Structure 1
């Protein structure tokens, strides 16, 4: 049994994937998954499902959704209708021995960070790539986003971007800087205020014998940040700019031999 939330919500039993066609039931399962092993109150569920204007019979409708979800999960192979436990204030989704892509993602990123800190860059990169493969598309795409789901979607996107940064760092440490130039240009277009991507692109260009292009990236970052936020680049970006201007030998320490 496996739950997958990093993309369109789906449940698989090892042989086939199971999808919910009813949006309200899909939203209910998503909320319970986000808060797996914790009590999700009835009030939280109602707010996520209907916002600030729930129908008069919202509690009754919620009861029906929970009942149908229990049947759905039992048919998909998760327990005998016991995956969702009722508590006095709400409901708890028990994962038990079920796999969960969010947990797998966090585990892979955690291992990757440890390998990166230890200078084991090939192993770090393998872990980051494994984590990124788990992200199948926009998280909770087309589902209504109340406070719980909106917070989870924002967290998942931030974690994905952090993982991308770490994978690029590992590639650069391996001397594979030319590989990251194209992807970084795309990432900067999508996230023009994320200074770490400018920093990584500047270093990759410099190590690819493109010093002038690296300096142009800094000027672009400077212009964008000033226009959008009225600020100058962060200290790390400014230090790298100075190091590139002076051809600091420290920039070459981790280049491929």
Structure 2
């Protein structure tokens, strides 16, 4: 679901736009979006809806409007009620104002590192989210005024930052017209005026640049009774003296960090043709968020399948691959989302001291960094949906594959993930896997024993590999004898032993 406030208020769910015909319904939604994920008291909502002239039945009428808004959104749990008031649940990437702020922050970071082209592209993408005045025709609602003013100020600041980047890239001629329109619309915005003067100067129009200064000086004196700022005065002086400081500096773009974090592919990978074909369908699109989950019992080959598919799909992800073991099972503590995000951010070029410590801030920066990339994100051995959710990108372009013993139902229900359930291999694939380790001659000599061994391993790839490797290390040991040993369960645990095989086929706790 997308909530758009940078222009006329609208709500889109996939290709359908929610109908919000009643003005008071739109006011209610706007106030809740202005304070997304925070409780808004009934008193504030009554003030917004009726501007101090609430009817006696305002409490019940408010409940009716909340009910109608829930119905219009199509998700009843989107609006929660608690003692402090009503809150609208907005998930990462759903609110255009938040995406705008994230893109702007990322652009500033790119600019600081010297990646001017990347910064300019992000700034243009951020400004492209705007469609008009925030909240459209609801600007007369007093409760929204502060939020509208804040967003408008952010937009102007973003324009100033974008123009500065364009000028640093040497795009003076292309920028002159855009700057002239901005200065005409916001004549008292002195930084924009100084940028227009610089663009004109660099295109050989010194006289026009000086006239722009004179016009601004008169406006400031007539409207506000003040002199131009130091920035504007310094620009005027530098143009008069034709100082070298106005010349375009040489730009050296830093290399783009492209992570290649996939572990090595699994040798002797066998079968799973249908599962690989289903993963091939995970490309993100309008009705597909590009998220797949691979779930199954221990030893079913979840990681092996994910790695095999990832390695054969490398050409689909030119901007790299991120991989992390979330340690969802085993003796080690599961990785916290903020720890995983820190690793991802470092891989994407963020300096350790610049990595946010707050999980929400780190997740927002991560989504911004991958927003315009085509990447694979492989989250291996996940413990839960809550561990995975902050690691998801906010828009199309990236593909996410998650392996877990858990079915991760929340990812399917909330994020539209495609679920792939793994069980043991078909018997002929299980036999083939054993033969690839032991050799076809040894397997062919004891076909019934091999079939029995596969059944005892429950046809799971990990158990089959352990068993076959143990037999490979003991060429004198008959397969039938080892199968009997596995069935009796009388040996102590050691690598490759029968108890190790039983560990690989243990049930999920």
The structural deviation recorded for 1:256 is 7.9
Q: Do the aligned residues in 2 keep the contact of 1:8 with 1:141 (CA within 8 Å)?
A: yes
Which residue of the partner structure matches residue 159 of structure 1?
154
Looking at structure 1, the residues matched to 61 and 84 of structure 2 have their Cα atoms a distance apart, in angstroms, of 16
The structural deviation recorded for 1:255 is 6.9
Looking at structure 1, the residues matched to 7 and 88 of structure 2 have their Cα atoms a distance apart, in angstroms, of 19
Q: Do the aligned residues in 2 keep the contact of 1:48 with 1:145 (CA within 8 Å)?
A: no
Looking at structure 2, the residues matched to 113 and 148 of structure 1 have their Cα atoms a distance apart, in angstroms, of 30
Correspondent of 2:110 among 102, 108, 115? 115
Q: Are 1:30 and 2:30 an aligned pair?
A: yes
Which residue of the partner structure matches residue 2 of structure 1?
2
Q: 3-state DSSP class of the match of 2:11?
A: strand
Structure 1 residue runs of 5 or longer lacking an equivalent are none
Which residue of the partner structure matches residue 176 of structure 1?
171
The structural deviation recorded for 1:90 is 1.3
The structural deviation recorded for 1:203 is 0.4
So what's the TM-score if we normalise by structure 1?
Answer: 0.93
Correspondent of 1:146 among 137, 141, 144? 141
Looking at structure 1, the residues matched to 251 and 202 of structure 2 have their Cα atoms a distance apart, in angstroms, of 10
Give 1 or 2: higher helix fraction. Answer: 1
- Residue 144 and residue 59 in structure 1: after superposition, are their counterparts in 2 closer, same or farther (change >3 A)? farther
The structural deviation recorded for 1:97 is 5.5
- Residue 187 and residue 255 in structure 1: after superposition, are their counterparts in 2 closer, same or farther (change >3 A)? farther
So what's the TM-score if we normalise by structure 2?
Answer: 0.48
Q: Do the aligned residues in 1 keep the contact of 2:32 with 2:40 (CA within 8 Å)?
A: yes
Which residue of the partner structure matches residue 13 of structure 1?
13
The structural deviation recorded for 1:143 is 1.8
Q: Are 1:72 and 2:72 an aligned pair?
A: yes
Q: 3-state DSSP class of the match of 2:136?
A: coil
Q: Are 1:237 and 2:223 an aligned pair?
A: no
- Structure 1 ranges of 4+ moved more than 6 A: none
Which residue of the partner structure matches residue 83 of structure 1?
78
Higher relative contact order (CA 8 A, sep 6+): 1
The structural deviation recorded for 1:12 is 1.3
Q: How many residues align?
A: 252
Structure 2 residue runs of 5 or longer lacking an equivalent are 253-509
